[in-house]
Structure 1
Amino acid sequence: MRRGGLLASGAAALLAGCGAPPKVAVAPPPPPPVVVIPPRPQPPLGASPTMVIPARLADGSRATVNSGISAAQALWNLRSAYNVAALNCTGDQGAPILAGYTEFQKKYARTLTATNKALDKEYRARFGAKAIREREAYQTQVYNFFALPPVVPSLCRAALELTGALQAVPAAQLESFAAASGLAGAEAPFRAFFDSYEQYQSDLAAWESQYGASFAAAEEAPRS
Structure 2
Amino acid sequence: MNQGNEMTVIEQGRRRLSLLAGSAVAVTLAALAGCAKPPPPPPPPPPVVVIPPMPAPPMGAPLNMVTPPKAEDGTRQTVNRGISTSQTVWNFRSAYNVAALNCVEAEYTPILDGYKRFLTVYDQSLDRASNEIDASFRTQHTGRAAIVARETYQTQVYNFFSLPPVDSGFCKAAMEVSAELMTVDPTQFEAWSYTGLAKLEAPFKAFFDAYDQYRADLAAWQSRYGSNGLIIVRPTSGQASAGPVPTPVATQTLPQPQPLSQAQTVTQAPAQPQAVQPTITLPTVQ
State TM-score, norm by structure 2. 0.69
Match of 2:175 in 1: 160
1:50 pairs with 40, 57, 64, which one? Answer: 64
* Aligned counterparts of 2:99 and 2:30: Cα–Cα separation in 1: 96
* Aligned counterparts of 1:112 and 1:216: Cα–Cα separation in 2: 60
* Aligned counterparts of 2:24 and 2:132: Cα–Cα separation in 1: 121
Structure 2: gaps spanning 5 or more residues: 1-12, 232-241, 245-286
Contact 1:93 / 1:160 at 8 angstroms: preserved in 2? no
* Deviation, structure 1 residue 16: 5.7
The verdict on how the C-alpha distance between 1:23 and 1:125 changes in structure 2, with shifts beyond 3 A counting, is same
Q: 3-state SS of the aligned residue for 1:127? A: coil
2:46 pairs with 32, 40, 58, which one? Answer: 32
Pairwise mapping of residues 2-151 of structure 1 onto structure 2 (< 5 A)? 19=32, 21-129=35-143, 130-151=145-166
* Aligned counterparts of 1:58 and 1:30: Cα–Cα separation in 2: 53
* Deviation, structure 1 residue 169: 1.3
Regions of 4+ moved over 4 Å: 8-20, 215-218
Q: 3-state SS of the aligned residue for 2:140? A: helix
Contact 1:93 / 1:156 at 8 angstroms: preserved in 2? no
* Deviation, structure 1 residue 30: 2.3
Contact 1:80 / 1:143 at 8 angstroms: preserved in 2? yes
Counterpart amino acid of residue 35 in structure 1: V
Match of 2:221 in 1: 207
Match of 1:195 in 2: 209
Match of 2:243 in 1: 219
* Aligned counterparts of 1:168 and 1:17: Cα–Cα separation in 2: 104
Contact 1:37 / 1:215 at 8 angstroms: preserved in 2? no
* Aligned counterparts of 1:215 and 1:157: Cα–Cα separation in 2: 43
* Aligned counterparts of 1:178 and 1:189: Cα–Cα separation in 2: 17
* Deviation, structure 1 residue 170: 1.5
Percent of matched pairs sharing the same residue: 49
The verdict on how the C-alpha distance between 1:118 and 1:212 changes in structure 2, with shifts beyond 3 A counting, is same
Moved more, 157-166 or 169-178: 169-178
**Structure 1 or 2: more helix by fraction:** 1
* Aligned counterparts of 2:229 and 2:213: Cα–Cα separation in 1: 21
Q: CA RMSD in A?
A: 2.5
* Aligned counterparts of 2:29 and 2:206: Cα–Cα separation in 1: 84
* Deviation, structure 1 residue 211: 1.1
- Greater gyration radius: 2
* Aligned counterparts of 2:162 and 2:24: Cα–Cα separation in 1: 101
State TM-score, norm by structure 1. 0.87
* Deviation, structure 1 residue 19: 4.8
